[in-house]
Amino acid sequence: MKWNLRLTAANKGVWKASELQRSLAEHGLVISAGKMSGLWSGQPVSLKLEDLDVICVVLDCEIGDLLIPEPEKVHRPGQAEATERAAVGAGTAAPKVVPKRRDGRSLPP
């Protein structure tokens, strides 16, 4: 998931983290300056669903405005093998197999 708070806030006319922090406090969500800085400039490690509700109310937005799915980053079982097979089929030559004798010497042409 991509955290999109800053752009969502800017689209609503909120340009500073301190502005948003004050508005959130007015709605009952008191956030420390450090946590607000993390929400504003980074990707939160965890966030309560109730806090997301308050953020959505304050910014008059939907959860999809704040959290953008990134399904391409999800590892799927068998994905690596399929990617390798696709690369071979897309012009990457497979290594050439050269038959050899049991003693390791090459076969005559």
CATH of the domain at 37: 1.10.260
Residue 89 resides in a domain: no
Helix, strand, coil proportions of the chain in percent (round to 5)?
50, 5, 45
Domain encompassing residue 34: 2-72
Read off the pLDDT band of 80 (50, 70, 90): low
What average pLDDT does the structure give for the chain?
A: 85
Question: Into how many domains does the chain fold?
Answer: 1
Residue 48 resides in a domain: yes
CA pair distance 12, 54, nearest whole angstrom: 15
Q: Contact at 8 Å (CB) between 99 and 107?
A: yes
Residue 36 resides in a domain: yes
Q: Which is higher by pLDDT, 75 or 85?
A: 75
Cβ neighbors of 37 (< 8 A, separation 6 or more) are: 17
What do you get for the CA distance between the two ends of the chain, in Å? 57
pTM as predicted = 0.66
Give pLDDT, residue 20.
96
